[in-house]
Amino acid sequence: MTGAEGGFRATVLTLYPEMFPGPLGVSLAGKALQDGAWSLETVQIRDFTTDKHRMVDDTPAGGGAGMVMKADVLARAIDHVSGGHVADGRPKLYMSPRGKPLTQARVRELAAGPGAIMLCGRFEGVDERLIEARDFEEISIGDYILSGGETAAIVILDAIVRLLPGVMGNVMSGETESFETGLLEHPHYTKPQEWEGRRIPDVLLSGNHGAIDKWRRSEAERLTKERRPDLWQAHRALLKK
């Protein structure tokens, strides 16, 4: 267990506990971990095998390539950390490319909760019966394949931890970022005022906060429309309600 008890509790079930905390041990997440704003526990799935070879996987039923992680081994690991079939109040998340895409709205929901139990798959994935029997929510961080769920778990935890109370110094910095308002974030500039012939837009130097807010909103809408038409359409539909 890393970090103090209390606050947001993350338990990660993995074949590679040495991958944690990894990036979560530095910067904002690392300081929050050290300060006890959240805690991180890793559980070695292989510790819950019962055979001398410590097998966590087997060949897929029906044939095919690869190996599938065993339901019985995983269930013992999960029940060990969650108290069996009785839920401990934390959602169970399975990192999966077929899961629902992670959104900032879901990140905020998770950050407002007591924590999460996160299962990191390997090989071809896990036995479907385990997902059903232990009521796992499948989450995807994008339409691509990783070697295992550990990297995805780190991404999700990083997104969650930065929203925990007191982690970000300036709360407004979180409220104006991409996806928080349904739009991508506006461009940012800082000194020097001119660099390689490129100037900071005059409106940002005007001191007129109303004009600055209007420019930022306009730029956010422009970028969203150009780069993420799917978000733009959803944003427009929401405004019409």
Q: Where are the alpha helices (DSSP H) in 36-170?
A: 71-82, 104-111, 128-133, 149-161
Look up residue 123 and give its amino acid: F
Q: Which two tokens stand for residue 196?
A: 């390689």
* Mean residue pLDDT across the chain: 92
When pLDDT is cut at 50, 70 and 90, the band that residue 88 belongs to is: confident
Residue 219 in tokens? 């730029």
Binding site annotation covers 135? Answer: no
Q: Is the pLDDT of residue 189 over 60?
A: yes
Lowest mean pLDDT among 32-36, 86-90, 218-222: 86-90
- Rounded mean pLDDT of 106-116? 97
Q: What is the DSSP letter of 224?
A: H
Closest CA to 55 of 42, 75, 81, 73: 73
pLDDT for 167: 95
**Does 22 show up as a binding residue in the annotation?**
no
Neighbours of 39 (CB within 10 A): 18
Does the pLDDT value for residue 180 go beyond 90? Answer: no
With a CB cutoff of 8 Å and minimum separation 6, the contacts of 132 are none
Between 74 and 168, whose confidence is greater? 74
Q: What angle (nearest 5°) sits at the alpha carbon of residue 22, between those of residues 16 and 23?
A: 145
Integer Cα distance of 47 and 55 in angstroms: 10
145 annotated as a binding-site residue? yes
Q: Is 94 marked as a binding-site residue?
A: no
User: Domains in the chain, ordered, with CATH?
Assistant: 8-161 (3.40.1280.10), 176-240 (1.10.1270.20)
- 200 among annotated binding-site residues: no
Question: What is the SS3 assignment for 37?
Answer: coil
Q: Is residue 2 very low, low, confident or very high in pLDDT (cuts 50, 70, 90)? A: confident
Amino acid at 67: M
The pLDDT value recorded for residue 6 is 60
pLDDT at residue 13, rounded to an integer: 98
pLDDT of residue 240: 85
Q: What is the pLDDT of residue 177?
A: 58
**Residue 30: which of 204, 225, 182, 167 has the closest Cα?**
167
Average pLDDT over residues 197-220: 97
Tell me whether residue 154 is annotated as binding.
no
61: how many CB neighbours lie within 10 A of its CB? 9
Give dist(CA 58, CA 122) in Å, integer: 12
Q: What is the pLDDT of residue 171?
A: 54
Q: Per the annotation, does 121 bind a ligand?
A: yes
Residue 24, pLDDT > 60, answer: yes
Element (H, E) at 117: strand 115-119
194-195 and 198-199 beta bridge pairing: antiparallel
Q: What is the DSSP letter of 53?
A: T
**Across residues 41-66, what is the average pLDDT?**
96
Tokens of 106: 């879901």
What pLDDT is stored for residue 83 in this prediction?
76
pLDDT digits (tens, 9 = 90+) for 140-177: 999 999 999 999 999 999 999 999 999 997 554 555 55
